[in-house]
Structure 1
């Protein structure tokens, strides 16, 4: 993705989030220089901030996702079972824009439709070795009520509805009707290692530096 395109997506996404009455935290608007500074060391270490991805495929409008990580705990705390064990993200799923089939080994997550269109989620159960079970039905809690679908079945979340996905559950999602504001509440998030995709794709975009960044991405400092 071109950096100029990412800059535009960030500005458009921020406006979309604000149009739904949600305001991002102050560090969302820090300059790249300030994010690289000492006071932002925890922000960088926890992977907080802007995350625009086309999964390395170069087709953002067709397959991609806008994310902003507002808070995130530490894997060390998760291993000990105490401390900051949770994370939160704000996401925008554009109409008919695919977030491709994947699972997490560690992360349990609530995916919440906060407004806009419907969010459609396609589900598969995992096999014993972590693959996709093409035959087993899948049961997931939706706002305290269990819903069950066939392998590859879809659930539709209207604004206000949510689904809980436990580690191992395969899922892909997209918005229908119009763009969708989505929130994710989860256990500690580790995007470096805890995303397993069905197809051989990457988690982060490859960035072509055609202009200066207005905001740094998580992927700009995650391994720095």
Structure 2
């Protein structure tokens, strides 16, 4: 089986096509001048040739006279294989990868012989199964364009490349030259990203090469690979309407670079200091509506919220019932941390914060829930350590058969234990899950399953967060035996907080009862 090692991300494909005009020296000039643009931008690029085993590629009758507009162009720009080898050497000299589109099986053999890095499937060949079989047999990384294909045909192409163990990427492409805005359908990129998860998706562009808006939009929608036709105009050579000059390639790459900067990170991190300062400067503070005596329980009607917040003052978002004045506070004076005590809500806050994170993770993973379920917040070493040792177990059904959805947040683990009666199978649907089963550690990824029989010691943990289904025989209270005797001595309610649904109105009472 072919190993999937090629990194298609942030790859720029420059299609030479027939823009060498049948002149090897002009072809080398195109390669040099666009290679210079690539080097200036500091990006990774592949120069792409197109191979047709001419004249045999064209039917004998059409070689003499043809109504097909492409035949004269193919025949008039024909080059010997030695000429392509010269241009290939120029690609290497410019520090670019070498890529080629074959339109027949004999051309695949030439690609193998010359040692190209990547092989391309043109849109017109994406349902040419004899050619696709030969491309797959080459063992080269494959980029396949999808112009003019229905979604069912793209599904078939995706499945074929998967089944042949090809290392491949897909290009959203529109085979209209040049492509008008209303035909670009860049939203297809997002659909491809969702439908073909784990496969790099690109945008093969045929729009006006002077227009650089498309590359930024495509990148924002998830494209990680980009292609366009390139050439060099001269006094005798006029480029077609969809091929870029070297300067247009520079502008295109600059637009991609700027869009990349603007898009930034997909992960929500901490705000920059200047942003935090700006937001903090617009916050309201908590003020005393009238005089508050030391020791007085502060009610909502005793305070008001106003702008601007004073230095060191409690912000309006910090207000909570149960505050008590630890010092006298004058009317209209700010409430400060030194002047009030805030009720301890540590355990409640830990689990409520976990609810928000778990809901967000389920939404991100597209795991739906109805309204009829119970939730267990598992905290074998106390709620305070829930973020370290914990899990959220959502019971969907528990009859003679049972199904739970287990969610672990990044960095959480579950202690070593076994079940006296229950047999369970884990099915990972999102993230990473490491499990130790009778002393052997396995890492599971989405789609992996693992069965745990009664009496088998096991524990599990996750680095980046995980959602997995537990399909089992009936779950019984008291069926778990833990390696740590301290856990076994705990009452069920001490190591698990169980509520209906998410426990919006039960969670506080459940924790108070402990």
- TM-score, structure 2 length as denominator? 0.28
Q: Pick from 376, 379, 387: which aligns with 1:51? A: 376
Q: Give the distance between the partners of 1:96 and 1:214, measured in 2 at CA.
A: 25
Residue 23 of structure 1 aligns with which residue?
Answer: 368
CA contact (8 A) 1:94 1:174 kept: no
CA contact (8 A) 1:20 1:115 kept: yes
Tell me whether 1:121 sits opposite 2:435 in the alignment.
Answer: yes
Q: Tell me how far 1:11 sits from its aligned partner.
A: 2.4
Tell me whether 1:189 sits opposite 2:475 in the alignment.
Answer: yes
Structure that is richer in strand per residue? 1
Tell me whether 1:10 sits opposite 2:355 in the alignment.
Answer: yes
Partner of 1:8, secondary structure, is: helix
Residue 175 of structure 1 aligns with which residue?
Answer: 462
Q: How many residues align?
A: 153
Q: Give the distance between the partners of 1:215 and 1:163, measured in 2 at CA.
A: 36
Q: Tell me how far 1:12 sits from its aligned partner.
A: 1.9
Tell me whether 1:214 sits opposite 2:499 in the alignment.
Answer: no
Residue 158 of structure 1 aligns with which residue?
Answer: 445
CA contact (8 A) 2:358 2:409 kept: no
Structure that is richer in helix per residue? 2
Q: Tell me how far 1:215 sits from its aligned partner.
A: 4.8
- RMSD over aligned CA atoms reads 2.2
Check 1:13–1:214 CA distance in 2 against 1; reply closer, same or farther (3 A cut).
same
1:91-117 superposed Cα distances (whole Å, 9 cap, x missing partner): 11223311000000100000111112x
Aligned 1:98-113 pairs, distance under 5 A: 98-113=413-428
* Higher CA-based Rg: 2
Residue 33 of structure 1 aligns with which residue?
Answer: none
Q: Give the distance between the partners of 2:448 and 2:505, measured in 1 at CA.
A: 31
CA contact (8 A) 2:436 2:458 kept: yes
Residue 61 of structure 1 aligns with which residue?
Answer: 387
Structure 1, unmatched stretches of 5+, are 28-47, 74-84, 125-151, 208-212
Partner of 2:358, secondary structure, is: helix
Q: Give the distance between the partners of 1:111 and 1:68, measured in 2 at CA.
A: 14
CA contact (8 A) 1:50 1:215 kept: no
Residue 71 of structure 1 aligns with which residue?
Answer: 397
Partner of 1:26, secondary structure, is: coil
Q: Give the distance between the partners of 1:158 and 1:91, measured in 2 at CA.
A: 14
1:55-98 superposed Cα distances (whole Å, 9 cap, x missing partner): 1433112111111111101xxxxxxxxxxx11111111223311
Q: Tell me how far 1:206 sits from its aligned partner.
A: 6.9
* Runs of 4+ with deviation above 6 angstroms: none
Q: Flag the structure with more relative contact order, 1 or 2, with Cα contacts below 8 A and sequence separation at least 6.
A: 1
Residue 221 of structure 2 aligns with which residue?
Answer: none
Q: Give the distance between the partners of 1:93 and 1:26, measured in 2 at CA.
A: 21
Q: Give the distance between the partners of 1:6 and 1:123, measured in 2 at CA.
A: 28
Residue 310 of structure 2 aligns with which residue?
Answer: none
- TM-score, structure 1 length as denominator? 0.62
Check 1:215–1:86 CA distance in 2 against 1; reply closer, same or farther (3 A cut).
farther
Q: Tell me how far 1:26 sits from its aligned partner.
A: 1.4
Q: Give the distance between the partners of 1:6 and 1:99, measured in 2 at CA.
A: 16
Q: Give the distance between the partners of 1:52 and 1:115, measured in 2 at CA.
A: 19
Partner of 1:3, secondary structure, is: helix
